[in-house]
Amino acid sequence: MKYDRFIKAALTGLTLSLAAAAPTMAPAETLRVLRGAASSALSVPMNRAVVVESDVPFTELSIANPGIADISSLSERTIYVLGKEPGRTTLTLLGADGRLITNVEIHVAPDMAEFKERLTQILPGENIEVRTANDGIVLSGQVSSIARLDRALELAQRYAPDRVSNLMVVGGTQQVMLQVRFAEMQRSVRKSLGAQLGVSGTTGGTTISGATSTSAGGANGAVTFGFGAGNMNVNLMIEALESRGVVRTLAEPNLTALSGQEASFLAGGEYPIPVAQDEDTITVEFKPFGVELLFIPTVIDDDIINLELAAAVSSVDTTNAFTSGTGLSINAFTRRETKTTVEMRDGESFAIAGLLQDDFNDLSEQVPWVGDIPVLGALFRSAAYEREQTELVIIVTPHLVSPTRGAALSLPTDRVRLPSESDLFLLGKTTAGTQIPGGAGEVARQDFSGSYGYVMDE
């Protein structure tokens, strides 16, 4: 009897020490083993404890995989099970005569109660459902943005590394329309002044010519003076030329894409370029040119949009063509392009690229020695200078958009209708009026009426 009392006191002390060392065990689940069989499978949260009670005394315990769960006996009928790693294993109970009492299936899973609590604290108001499946975590429901979805997945990885399944969807508007404006101005000024003096005469059928200067202006803006004395003729040509030019380039491509998806746009064409493969084989590659746009929008949070984009405006440049020895000519390209990543809100604009270029060069030509003579040397000199300025800016504006009904949209072809024969031949009209109801008609009535070409003030 004293020995039995000592055993019971020792078990009681062990129970109290374990309870003090593991305070998380207090609300532990209890599984009962009745009549040699477990009432159900044992689910143990990771890093938490569950107590197994048996109505039959046992003498020996074993666990199939100690790395998944740890066990200790509190009494001859009570077992303490601690979850260590997610997984499944088996607990075996043996009686006094070595007979099998039962096998208890133990399923250790991440602590969903703690995970749900942390998820609610970090992402309040989000409709996220949490489940377990095959030792992992399954997240479903709807979140308000991709940024919140990423936070939920990152938190779930803390509890079940590499075992997180994402079934969540992002609600709200997830389609982005990007407006890109290319604006470029090119200004050029050229001036040239030159003189050409020629002296000719005949003596015995022989022609004598004097020295002449070269002029940078060609034959434009030239005035010629001449006089003769006997067989001697003197000609003087003065050239003065000034030219100014302004080029304005503007392109406004618009493109819509789903958040996280790539979209591309090209308005232009493709230029064929021959490529030699070997001595006898030449293939043709096509190089695109025109207005090009490629972007990937990502709606991060609410109306914050991340944009990865590449935009370019190019055209064929015939002034810088390459000509081979066989007479094959390949044109060059003038190209303005940018590639960047920016972040902004719905409706905000960003100047993602800009260029200010100012080129200046001058040229002076003269007849050697003679052109250095004061006053008179001006007749043997020519001078020219050229200045070119280029200004370029690229502005992007993203918008969160939703689909609308087709009746509210207007096409460019809605503005123009073919005329009848009487309108064309009798009235001289090239188009007929528009009769489109609704909002599309209001847009269509903003047709191309008015003067065409250049308007010059008198």
Q: Where are the domains of the chain?
A: 38-109, 112-170, 406-441
Q: Measured between alpha carbons, how far is 171 from 448 in angstroms, rounded to an integer?
A: 41
What would the mean pLDDT of 25-35 be, rounded to a whole number?
A: 54
What would the mean pLDDT of 308-312 be, rounded to a whole number?
A: 91
What Å distances lie between residue 199 and 63, 194, 211, 230, 232, CA to CA?
119, 17, 8, 13, 7
Say what the pLDDT of residue 9 is. Answer: 44
pTM of this structure: 0.56
**5-14, 36-45, 68-77, 303-312: lowest mean pLDDT where?**
5-14
pLDDT value at 35 more than 70: no
Q: Pick the more confident residue, 133 or 312.
A: 312
| CATH fold for domain 38-109 | Immunoglobulin-like (2.60.40)
**34-38, 145-149, 406-410, 428-432: lowest mean pLDDT where?**
34-38
pLDDT-above-90 percentage for the chain: 8
Q: Say if 38-109 and 112-170 have the same CATH topology.
A: no
**8-22, 53-67, 344-358: lowest mean pLDDT where?**
8-22
Residue 197 and residue 211 in contact, taking contact as beta carbons nearer than 8 Å: yes
Q: Pick the more confident residue, 442 or 182.
A: 182
Half-sphere exposure of 445 (CA within 13 A, CB side): 8
Q: Which residue has the tokens 């960047």?
A: 340
What would the mean pLDDT of 307-317 be, rounded to a whole number?
A: 89
Per-residue pLDDT tens over the stretch 265-279: 998 889 888 887 877
From the options 3.90.870.20, 3.30.1340.30, 3.60.9.10, 3.40.640.10, give the CATH code of 112-170. 3.30.1340.30
Say what the pLDDT of residue 342 is. Answer: 92
Residue 445's pLDDT band (boundaries 50, 70, 90)? low
What would the mean pLDDT of 40-55 be, rounded to a whole number?
A: 83
Say what the pLDDT of residue 437 is. Answer: 53
Say what the pLDDT of residue 279 is. Answer: 74
What would the mean pLDDT of 36-49 be, rounded to a whole number?
A: 75
**264-268, 295-299, 400-404, 414-418: lowest mean pLDDT where?**
414-418
How do 381-401 and 350-366 pair as beta strands?
Answer: antiparallel
Report the mean per-residue pLDDT for the chain.
Answer: 77
What would the mean pLDDT of 111-127 be, rounded to a whole number?
A: 86
Q: Pick the more confident residue, 436 or 405.
A: 405
Say what the pLDDT of residue 133 is. Answer: 79
Cα 184-187-189 angle, rounded to 5 deg: 170
Q: Measured between alpha carbons, how far is 186 from 448 in angstroms, rounded to an integer?
A: 27
